Amino acid sequence: MLSRCAALLVFAAGCSAAPAVEWTSERTIASPPDHPGLDAEGDTTRNALEGLAKGLRPSVAACPGSLQLARSGRALYAVWWAPRADSSARLLAARSMDGGASWSAPGTVDSTDRSVAGCSRPPPSIAADSSGGYVHVSYGLVAPEGPGLFFAHSMDGGESFHSAVPILYGEHPGYSSVAASGDVVAVAFEDPNGTVQRIGLALSGTMGHIFESRLLPVSDDNGAATKPLVAVRGRRISVAWTERAAPDGPVVLRIRAGILH
């Protein structure tokens, strides 16, 4: 049996040194923009790739709303869920080296899904880091060993992806967001366990080869926290999420920004 360190990719004695976050600021936006982006300083940005994602038509059928893009220079990387006849799904990826004019044939990121959710599943998240040529993907699925949040990355610019590793097992895998800068990879996610909807953070200081630390919670328990965003640049990191304090209350965007140590 794999150790807890290897199986769940959390900090424990004997693992690599765990990255840590010193949170330095927090703010709330009462009227959040639709589909915001996020930068490492904790400021909202426009999602510049959203329009392009809507215009891309993969040669393999994509679940509606699942197509996600990342950019690194002129290169674009796409990832999406492709439904199967038995209501499971494959996670596929493609890349464009000319700014979206042409695309590679789809390749497989993960084909182990055993769910019957069809396309009723959160989209994956993708990030491309120009400093090392890595492409990172986070997503939830029902693997043969159980449901949870998983991570896979490519070390050759999206040509192939290494076997997925679990970040956290849980019965209710939801939305996640991945970001990378140099050696640091961060995955913010909806906690798949517990009765309170909250946001957690997994950190890797080894380009995603090992997630040495997992921080729960990033959000507090004052409201239902969903749909995280994460951004990293150098040693700066920020996490945002939507939150509703009461079932009939307004939705706000909460943002925490900090420094990685």
| Bigger pLDDT: 86 vs 74 | 86
pLDDT, mean of residues 81-92: 96
Better-predicted residue by pLDDT, 245 or 8: 245
Tell how many helices (H) and how many strands (E) occur in the chain.
Answer: 2, 18
pLDDT of residue 61: 80
Q: How far is CA 226 from CA 65, 166, 220, 222, 245, in A?
A: 17, 20, 12, 13, 12
Closest CA to 150 of 196, 115, 118: 115
From residue 223, alpha-carbon distances to 176, 179, 200, 226, 245 in Å are 18, 25, 14, 10, 4
Look at residue 98 in the predicted model and tell me its pLDDT. 84
**pLDDT, average across residues 158-177:** 93
| Bridge-based pairing state of the strands 146-154 and 134-143 | antiparallel
Question: Is the predicted pLDDT of residue 14 greater than 50, yes or no?
Answer: no
Q: Which residue has the higher pLDDT, 238 or 105?
A: 238
Percent of the chain with pLDDT over 90: 65
Q: Return the structure tokens found at 55.
A: 């215009």
- Please say whether the beta carbons of 18 and 203 come within 8 A: yes
Query: Could you give the dihedral angle defined by the CA atoms of residues 227, 69, 26 and 219, in that order, rounded to the nearest 10 degrees?
Result: 30
Q: What percent of the chain has pLDDT over 70?
A: 88
Give CA–CA dist 17/14, Å, rounded: 9
Q: In the prediction, which pLDDT does 36 show?
A: 85
pLDDT at 199 over 90: yes
b/e string for 146-170 if b means 16 or more Cβ within 10 A? ebbbbbbbbbebbeebeebbbbbbb
Q: In this model, does residue 96 exceed pLDDT 70?
A: yes
Q: What is the mean pLDDT of residues 176-189?
A: 96
Q: What is the mean pLDDT of the chain?
A: 87
User: Model confidence at 59, in pLDDT bands (50, 70, 90)?
Assistant: low
This prediction's pTM: 0.90
Q: Which residue has the higher pLDDT, 133 or 141?
A: 141
pLDDT in tens, 201-259: 999 999 999 999 876 679 988 889 999 999 999 999 999 999 998 888 899 999 999 99
Strands of the 134-143 sheet, one edge to the other:
125-129, 134-143, 146-154, 165-169
pLDDT higher at 19 or 142: 142
Q: Are 136 and 126 a contacting pair, CB within 8 Å?
A: yes
The predicted model gives 48-58 an average pLDDT of: 60
Q: Which domains does the chain have, with CATH numbers?
A: 4-17+47-213 (2.120.10.10)
Whether the pLDDT of residue 47 is over 80: the answer is no
Total residue count of the chain as it appears in this document: 261
Q: What residue has token string 């994602």?
A: 53
Q: Is the model's pLDDT at 13 over the cut of 80?
A: no
Q: Report angle CA 192, 214, 121 to the nearest 5 degrees.
A: 30
Confidence bin at 50 (pLDDT 50/70/90): low
